[in-house]
Amino acid sequence: MKALLPTSVQIPKILTIAGSDSGGGAGVQADLKVITALGGYGMSVITAITAQNTLGVIAIQDVDLAVIEAQIDAVLNDIGADSIKIGMLASPEIVQVVANSLRKHDITRIILDPVLRATSGASLGGDDTAQAMMKELFPMASLVTPNLEEASLLLGRDISHVDDFKSAAEKLLALGPQAVLIKGGHLDSAHTQLTDYLMWRSIEDDLEIIQVKEFKHPRVNTENTHGTGCSLSAAIATYFADGHDLPHAVGKAIAYVEAGLQAGRFLSIGEGPGPLWPMFEFYPTALPLEDQ
């Protein structure tokens, strides 16, 4: 191992295992922007190549399984990772390769965003993939972050109201992860205040207890929401790698994404829903003239 010099600087190292978004608003591209904006060192494993833009997903090509495994080994054998974010895994076979590789490297700090459908509605993984995630990756995950549609697909029933969050989180937590975050961004547009529901396991006096925290925040009035889920899970992984406990990392990440949505409200990128603006702390975007 290379010896550290007295002046060596260590920063959080975050590996994202996800699909590539050619439009730059979601997937690995969004993850790396967020990780960098929050002061982490981002690395990537590409699981699929997508041809997509703000209007939708045009084509998907899975990466060869041996190449996915080689990417994971290349990064973890040399650089290592303080946390790992997992996004799009388009097939059960990819899920299995990723799970086997992470077990081999004894990785324990995993933020799993069970991406099964794009914002545009395109399928990014079927029921077989969902079942494989629940069996192979949920028991390894520090946190699973489904939105309402993903939670519905995973549980096989409609999750569409705040009253459903507790039971949904309980059922998903029973599958083995240390924590579950049910994201409320897909609540009916009549909800001007959104709720994200975190349930996690903790140990007190050698006993496991289940704790809950609700994060309530205003809905940002914008169509530029592409890649919001990817950005949130990448932010959680970065804060987690930087030493924040999980509830604190989740709260900071939610605030970061809300600020990114506010900053990106007036961005004009493509003809469809654009992305949030992850670099708002460094490059604030200009408001329309009438708002200045």
Is 270 catalytic? The answer is no
The beta-strand segments (E) located in 54-185 are: 56-62, 83-86, 110-112, 143-144, 179-182
Structure tokens at 32: 């790396």
Question: Distance of alpha carbon 138 from its chain centroid, rounded?
Answer: 14
Is 125 catalytic? The answer is no
Which own/partner pairs from 75-78 qualify as long-range (CB within 8 Å, at least 24 positions apart)? 75/15, 75/43, 75/45, 76/15, 76/105, 76/107
**Which of these is catalytic: 228, 251, 260, 264?**
228
The contacts of residue 98 (CB under 8 Å, 6+ apart) are 17, 45, 47, 68, 72, 86, 89, 137
**Which of these is catalytic: 225, 251, 252, 264?**
225
Is 183 catalytic? The answer is yes
CB atoms within 10 A of CB 17: 28
Scanning the structure block, which residue is given the tokens 């190549």? 49
Q: Which helix (H) or strand (E) segment is 250 a member of?
A: helix 246-263
d(CA 253, CA 276): 13
Is 50 catalytic? The answer is no
**Which of these is catalytic: 25, 229, 260, 264?**
229
**Which of these is catalytic: 85, 230, 238, 274?**
230
Name the residues annotated as catalytic.
183, 225, 227-230
